[in-house]
Chains A and B, each alone.
Chain A
Amino acid sequence: MGRKLLLEHINVPGINTFQVYKEKGGYRAVEKALKTMSSDDVVEEVKKSGLRGRGGAGFPTGMKWSFLAKPEGVPRYLVCNADESEPGTFKDRYLMTHIPHALIEGMIVGSYALGANTSYIYVRGEMMPQIRILEKAIAEAKAAGYLGKNILGSGYDLEIYVQPGGGAYICGEETALLESLEGKRGNPRIKPPFPAIAGLYGCPTVVNNVESIAATVPIVNEGGEEYAKIGIGRSTGTKLISASGNINKPGVYEIELGLSVEDFIYSDEYCGGIANGKRLKAVVAGGSSVPILPANLILNLANGDKRLMSYESLSEGGFATGTMLGSGGFVVLDEDQCIVRNTWNFSRFYHHESCGQCSPCREGTGWMEKVLHRLEYGHGKMSDIDLLVDVSKKIEGNTICPLGDAAAWPVASAIRHFRDEFEWHVKEPKLALERNYGLAHYADPIKIAEEV
């Protein structure tokens, strides 16, 4: 049984209300931070904890906070990125729906640490119920004196506002989010300058994921060193994983980083194995934008060791044999699923969500989608497969924001690992429309290269 820090009280009835949350030890972190710690102490604790950004990139949160410019007389902002729209990821929505106060408490602690007096939670437009839940939670916290002027007599003022977005995936990119928050078209900005120097309204800003902000609560409560003991290596603490796909128990799970992937998929505590007694074919380990891996590579590393759920272990082997933890959207595909169709579906998403600002992503995502559509519906050509690889290479790394990379990686990795399935779609177009390629050799044990 792994430790639960964020979802410890998830099953307590009424945990979404201030009253119950407080009874279960909520808002201790605010009291501890505001009464006994300076803002630099809080940043120091978060640094010690080794907490890494939970939104996808995995950048150390404490480092991000310490980079914030602090010019005199200029306001600073903490912005919470709740524009969670990656296919396969739904952990933030779950957290906000059931324990909204964990986010509010984290926002207070984080804002105090950064010296921000106004903070924003930018919520994706489709999540209207969550917006209402958060607004209610803010009102409750305010009524109890944890928000507003002179919080708990410490002389620290803070207002939190919830801002609904328009439902664009691109607004999850931090600079596009800031543009959108300012009321403009959600186009990513060209960096530098980074938001830590010039962010919201040109002021120093930190943008953090919902889960990262909520994770600062246990860090302040228990101390950064204590938090760093959980997990493995540089992947410290616990992580929410949104498990979905062909598994017996889909849902949001809190895991200690370092759990093996095999345990996560097959143990009854988590996913409970593949549904309907089927066999595992492939896994998208961190939300749609990370490379897809076949069964043999997701369970084991290229050297035969077990792959673990951690930032390092999942990315072991680079893009040749590895993937990324990303935002923790764990999508499991069984032997009946078609990789080509899955890739086309992801590609369609990126085509739809590209902002259209820079040319490789604007034109390339549409191109890839059309070629994949053709392959899936039996009109493909053998040269299409190499064309897709080439187009994805031309998008990757040449765009303003990471959406281009996110669109290119799933396509490139699907072809890297499942090339024969793509070729089968070209060779047997009629058959490909009737049935799926099946498991083939994707779960066979990998041959381990002998050390020379």
Chain B
Amino acid sequence: MSDKIKVTIDGIPVEVEPRTSILNAARQIGGDIVPPAMCYYSKLEGSGGKCRTCLVKVSKGSEKDPRPMPKLVASCRTTVMDGMEVQNITSPEVIEARKGVVEMLLINHPLDCPICDQAGECHLQDLSYEHGAATTRYEFDRRTFDRVDIGDKIQLHMNRCILCYRCVFTADQITNNRVHGVLGRGDHAEISTYIEKAIDNDFSGNVIDVCPVGALTDKTFRFKNRVWFTKPVEAHRDCPTCSGKVTLWYKGEEVLRVTARKDVYGEVEDFICNTCRFDKKSTNDWVIEGPRQVSRQSVINANHYDTLQPLPVIKKNPELMQANKEQFERATKF
């Protein structure tokens, strides 16, 4: 494959297809050099670029034009060029900017993790754990909204929303009619349906899976349990409308909820239909494949807190090892 192009991210070279984004190139390397992404979703066309958590520094534009890019760029929407050199965790500027973005995302977030169903699998929670400050500098009232039921199975908790637009893209691209969208502007923008219309179609439940925070939650699972007390099991069924490949979340004998199979970046493998998600909550409906592998860092694998230290990386990379060392020192302070 001679048409592959070479990029270097935090000193690690990788060869990728042309027109790959920096974020996806980083995901091909994997590990902790992958920028976090709150709004980008590889399966949704047009997503990304909004949350600004994936900002990276391009220290060398390309082989032809080696000038660095003047500003930090959103890695999810910037395509790689041959010979590009990118700095993510090795650039203090990027770390600082990301800290700023996380702070901005949190100033209007209720931080009600103890009563939020998303806790334990929330990307904002992970992000704040990694980059957030211990206290807030925001001393004003946070914006608040009433909770809204959109349809009988989904609840919208707008206070927690970070306006990533993922659910809007999902409704546009997975279902055939979108009845919700972003209304209003600036910090009073909100996800809403027009005149309290219910979201009602076969694939509407997927907005729950794509939501990076606890703004859209499954009403059938609401307050039933914490995710880290449930056991994820892979299963499938012969479904006429979708692929039928799901993860069942067990507590004891009982299936508490059904979700699509999410990868390490929280992205689903296949979108599933509402019948599978909401109506088939009995072991008899499913063919069990085996336990779901969950990242060892995840709190869903409870009591594995020793993996707090960074993942092992390629030894030949002194820059990254230095960054890891610093991160390890920071992490061990807790």
B272: chain A residues at CB < 8 Å are none
Are B52 and A398 touching (Cβ within 8 A)?
Answer: yes
In the assembled complex, A172 has its CB within 8 A of some CB on chain B:
no
Are A190 and B52 touching (Cβ within 8 A)?
Answer: no
Residue of B nearest to A404 (CB): B52
In the assembled complex, B242 has its CB within 8 A of some CB on chain A:
no
Q: Which of A5-13, A314-322, A363-371 lines the interface with chain B?
A: A363-371
In the assembled complex, B37 has its CB within 8 A of some CB on chain A:
no
A355: chain B residues at CB < 8 Å are 185-186, 189
In the assembled complex, B316 has its CB within 8 A of some CB on chain A:
no
Are B137 and A387 touching (Cβ within 8 A)?
Answer: yes
A390-409 CB contact bits vs B (8 Å, 1 = yes)?
Answer: 00011001111000000000
Are A370 and B104 touching (Cβ within 8 A)?
Answer: no
In the assembled complex, A360 has its CB within 8 A of some CB on chain B:
yes
Are A366 and B51 touching (Cβ within 8 A)?
Answer: no
In the assembled complex, A354 has its CB within 8 A of some CB on chain B:
yes
Alpha-carbon gap, A355 to B184, bound state (A): 8
8 Å CB contacts to A: which residues of B133-190?
A: 137-138, 140, 162-163, 165, 181-182, 184-189
Are A356 and B189 touching (Cβ within 8 A)?
Answer: yes
Partner of B52, one of A170, A354, A358, A367: A358
B209: chain A residues at CB < 8 Å are none
Are A394 and B163 touching (Cβ within 8 A)?
Answer: no
In the assembled complex, B55 has its CB within 8 A of some CB on chain A:
yes
Are A366 and B103 touching (Cβ within 8 A)?
Answer: no
B123: chain A residues at CB < 8 Å are none
Are B103 and A356 touching (Cβ within 8 A)?
Answer: no
In the assembled complex, B74 has its CB within 8 A of some CB on chain A:
yes
Question: How many Å from the CB of B52 to the closest CB on chain A?
Answer: 5
B140: chain A residues at CB < 8 Å are 367, 370
Alpha-carbon gap, A393 to B315, bound state (A): 36
Are B108 and A397 touching (Cβ within 8 A)?
Answer: no
Alpha-carbon gap, A168 to B186, bound state (A): 11
Are B189 and A359 touching (Cβ within 8 A)?
Answer: no
Are B186 and A365 touching (Cβ within 8 A)?
Answer: yes
In the assembled complex, B5 has its CB within 8 A of some CB on chain A:
no
In the assembled complex, A185 has its CB within 8 A of some CB on chain B:
yes
Given A362-B163, A364-B104: A354 and B187 interface contact (C-beta under 8 Å): yes
Interface residues of A (CB under 8 A from B): 168, 170, 185, 190, 351-360, 362-367, 370, 387, 393-394, 397-400
Interface residues of B (CB under 8 A from A): 48-53, 55, 71-72, 74, 77, 97, 100-101, 103-105, 107-108, 137-138, 140, 162-163, 165, 181-182, 184-189
- Starting from the known contacts A359-B52, A359-B104, A359-B162, 17 additional A-B residue pairs (CB-CB under 8 Å) come to A170-B185, A356-B185, A356-B187, A356-B188, A356-B189, A357-B165, A358-B49, A358-B50, A358-B52, A360-B52, A362-B104, A363-B104, A363-B105, A367-B104, A393-B100, A394-B104, A398-B72
Q: 4 closest A-B pairs (Cβ-Cβ)?
A: A394-B100, A356-B189, A354-B186, A190-B49
Cross-chain pairs A/B with CB under 8 angstroms, 7 sampled: A359-B51, A359-B104, A363-B107, A363-B187, A394-B104, A400-B49, A400-B74
